[in-house]
Amino acid sequence: MRGLMMDVPLMISSILEHARRFFGDQEIVSRSVEGPIHRYTYRDLAARTAQLAHALRALGVEPGDRVATLAWNTYRHVELYYAVAGIGSVCHTVNPRLHPGQIAYIVNHADDGYVFADLTFVPLLEALAPQLPRVRGYVILTGETTMPQTTLPDAMCYETLIGAQPTTIDWPVFDEHTACGLCYTSGTTGDPKGALYSHRSTVLHAMTAGIAEAARRTESTGCMMPIVPMFHVNAWGYPYVALMMGAKLVLAGSAHDGASLYELIETERVQNAAGVPTVWQGLLDFMTANGKELSSLRSMRVGGSAAPRAMIQAFEDRGIEVIHGWGMTETSPVCTNGSVARKHRDVPNRMDYQTRAGRCLYGVQMRVVDEEGQVVPDDGVSQGELHVRGPWVASAYFENETATQAQFTGDGWFKTGDIISLDADGYLTIHDRSKDLIKSGGEWISSIDLENAAVGHPEIVEAAAIAIPHPRWSERPLLVAVRRPGSTVDAAEILAYLQDKIAKLWLPDDVVFIDEMPHTATGKISKKTLRERYAAGVLSG
Ligand code: ADP
C-alpha cells in the first residue's frame, strides 16, 4: 500500500529560498579574486542569483544545457551553483588545476555551451579556446572596471550581463531526478570521469551533512568555511549546508597558503572549516613557524586523502576537533562522519578512533568485499574493497560506458576501489586504494600506514610509499619523502625510526628525498607521477 503523503520534489532552489526568507541577514564573506574582501547577505545572494538566472535564459541556456565554471570559492561561484541548477541546467565545475589537455577534454565531453571564468583563468582559456569549438561564449567573473582585454571570442563581463535583470524570479519546479551539477574526478588513478548529480541527491546529501554538523553543535548560526574548492565535489556540500542551517559562509578565493587562511579564519571568526590534509598542513606549518594559535575554530573536516596522525594530534592539542571523513566525487562526497562516538571520547586510546575515517552516515549503505567476491565481517581486521550505495551515490558515469561497466556491479553497488575494514562500532579504516597497494611476497602492504608512520618523524613534511618491481618479492615499497627545509636527515635515520613502528616486512627498501612532492589537481599526492618517475628502477634483491 502506498503512503498518502505529498510528493514534493527536492529542489536546490528551495535551499536558496529558505535561506533568503529565514536567514536573510546572514553573511557570505569572500576573498575576491580582484583582491578586496567582499561581503553581502543571503538576501543579496538570492537577488543576484535571480538576475543571473534571467541572464542565462537571455543567453539561450535551456534546461539540461551544461554551463561550465572555472572559478575559485567566491560569492559569484555560489550564484552560479544556484542559478544554473535553478533553471534546470547543469553546473559543470571544472577543476582548473587539471592539466590543460584534460580541461579541454572534459569541457568537450560535457558539451559545455558557456564558460564562466575568474580573471585568473583568462590566459588559460585564451590558449584552449581553439580546441573548444562548441563553446558559444565566455563570461568573465568580474566588473566593468576590472574587465581585461582578451582574445576570447564572445567574451562578456559578468556584472554587465546580470546588472539590468530583475532581482526576483519564480523558480521552476520539475522532476527532482533532473541533473543539476557535473563534477569530474581529479584523475588520480586515470582519465577524469564525470559524476552527474541530481537535485534530489544534492538536497539529501546536504541534509545528511548538515545533520552530522548539527548533531555536534546545536547552534545553527555558526560560521563555516569550505577551503575545499568549489570545483572539487561541490566543496563537500558546504554551499548548500550553510544556507540550510543559516550559517555564515566564508570563502577563501584563490589564497590557500597558511598565512592567508589563518588571517581569514581569525578575522571572520570561522568555527568550522573543511579541506584536504595538505591545506591543513600548510596552516599548521605557518602557525608553528610564527607562534600563532586559532581562537575561533572549533572543528575542522578533513578528507580526500589520509590525514596523518601527527597532524590530527597537533590540531587536537590546540583544542580543535578534527573530523576525518571519507568520500568520493561519485558519492557527492560525504559518506562518513568522523566524530568519535561518545563511548570513545574519554578512553586513553581516543586517537586510534579519531584517526580513522569516520562512521557511515544514515542513508549510505556499505559492504566490504574480498578478492573472491565474499562479503567480509565487520571485525576491524578483515579487509576488502568498499562498495557503497545510496541516494547520493552515482549510478553510472556521465557518458562513459567503459568506466561504468568497470565500476558498478550488476546488483546496484558502486565499487570504490578503496581497500578498507570496518569494525564492530562501524569505524572505517582505509588501508589503501587498490591501485596503490604494494604486494610483497603475496602479502599486502598499506601505503597509507607506511606514509603515516613516516610523517610522524619530525623532519619529514610529506611522504609517499609506492610499489617498485622486485625480482624476488614481485614488489617492494619505496618511500619518497620531502624533508623539512634545512634538514639533513638521511635514509638510514628514517629506516631506523620506522623499525619499531611497522612490521619488518613493510620497511621500505629505500628512501628517496625530493624537494617537492607532485600533487594532483585537488592537492593529493600524485602517486601516478611518482610511479612513472621511479617505475624503471628495480630494487635489487
Ligand atoms: P580522485 O579519485 O581523482 O582522487 P576523489 O576526490 O573523488 O578524486 O577521490 C576519492 C578518493 O580519495 C577515495 O576513493 C579515497 O581513495 C581517497 N580518500 C577520500 N577520503 C579519504 C580519507 N579520509 N582517507 C584516505 N583516503 C581518502
The pLDDT tens digits of the residues spanning 484-515 come to: 989 999 999 999 999 999 888 899 999 999 99
Ligand 1: residue of 305, 339, 386 to mutate (most ligand atoms within 8 A of CB) is 305
Helix (H) or strand (E) holding 538, with range, is none
Q: Do domains 12-204 and 438-533 have the same CATH topology?
A: no
Looking at residue 93, the DSSP 8-state letter turns out to be E
pLDDT category of residue 167 using cuts at 50, 70 and 90: very high
pLDDT at 537: 64
Percent of the chain whose pLDDT exceeds 90:
78
pLDDT category of residue 220 using cuts at 50, 70 and 90: very low
Instruction: Judge if the beta carbon of residue 278 lies within 6 A of ligand 1.
Output: no
Instruction: Judge if the beta carbon of residue 338 lies within 6 A of ligand 1.
Output: no
Does the pTM surpass 0.85? The reply is yes
* Ligand 1 atom with least separation from CA of 433: 16
Which CATH number is associated with domain 12-204? 3.40.50.12780
- DSSP symbols for 135-204: --EEEESS-GGGPPP---TTEEEHHHHHHTS-S--------TTSEEEEEE---SSSS--EEEEEHHHHHH
Instruction: Judge if the beta carbon of residue 527 lies within 6 A of ligand 1.
Output: no
pLDDT at 177: 98
CB 496 within 8 A of CB 457: no
* Ligand 1 atom with least separation from CA of 357: 23
CB 103 within 8 A of CB 96: yes
Flag whether pLDDT at 217 surpasses 50. Answer: yes
Ligand 1: residue of 186, 418, 435, 529 to mutate (most ligand atoms within 8 A of CB) is 418
Instruction: Judge if the beta carbon of residue 431 lies within 6 A of ligand 1.
Output: no
Ligand 1: residue of 188, 280, 312 to mutate (most ligand atoms within 8 A of CB) is 188
* Set of cell numbers at residue 279: 591545506
Flag whether pLDDT at 538 surpasses 80. Answer: no
End-to-end CA distance of the chain: 68
Instruction: Judge if the beta carbon of residue 336 lies within 6 A of ligand 1.
Output: no
Ranges 84-88, 158-162, 216-220, 379-383: which has the least confidence = 216-220
Flag whether pLDDT at 219 surpasses 50. Answer: no
Which amino acid is present at 316? E
pLDDT category of residue 299 using cuts at 50, 70 and 90: very high
Give the start-to-end residue ranges of the domains of the chain. 12-204, 219-324, 438-533
pLDDT in tens, 355-405: 999 999 888 999 999 999 999 999 999 999 999 999 999 999 999 999 999
| CA 449 vs CA 5, 161, 432, 433: distances in Å | 49, 51, 8, 12
Instruction: Judge if the beta carbon of residue 452 lies within 6 A of ligand 1.
Output: no
The residue contributing the CA closest to ligand 1 atom 26 is 305
Instruction: Judge if the beta carbon of residue 96 lies within 6 A of ligand 1.
Output: no
Crossing angle of helices 258-268/277-290, nearest 10°? 80
Q: Where do we find the cell 615499497?
A: 477
Q: Where do we find the cell 588545476?
A: 97
pLDDT category of residue 221 using cuts at 50, 70 and 90: low
Flag whether pLDDT at 303 surpasses 60. Answer: yes
Question: Which residue blocks in 435-506 are alpha helix, DSSP H?
Answer: 447-455, 491-498
pLDDT at 96: 94
Instruction: Judge if the beta carbon of residue 526 lies within 6 A of ligand 1.
Output: no
CB 194 within 8 A of CB 397: yes
Residue 488 backbone phi and psi in degrees, to 5:
-120, 15
* Ligand 1 atom with least separation from CA of 521: 3
The residue contributing the CA closest to ligand 1 atom 9 is 328
Percent of the chain whose pLDDT exceeds 70:
97
Residue range 10-19: mean pLDDT, rounded: 95
Which CATH number is associated with domain 438-533? 3.30.300.30
CA 266 to centroid of chain Cα atoms: 23
**How many degrees, rounded to 5, is the angle at CA 212 between CA 208 and CA 217?**
140
Instruction: Judge if the beta carbon of residue 457 lies within 6 A of ligand 1.
Output: no
Q: If you measure from the C-alpha of residue 327 to the centroid of ligand 1, how many angstroms do you get, rounded to a whole number?
A: 6
Q: Considering only the top CATH level, what class is 219-324? A: alpha beta
* Set of cell numbers at residue 462: 610529506
Average pLDDT of the residues of the chain:
93
Mind telling me the catalytic residues? 185, 330, 439, 444
Crossing angle of helices 12-22/238-245, nearest 10°? 40
pLDDT in tens, 90-112: 999 999 999 899 999 999 999 99
pLDDT category of residue 541 using cuts at 50, 70 and 90: very low
pLDDT at 1: 92
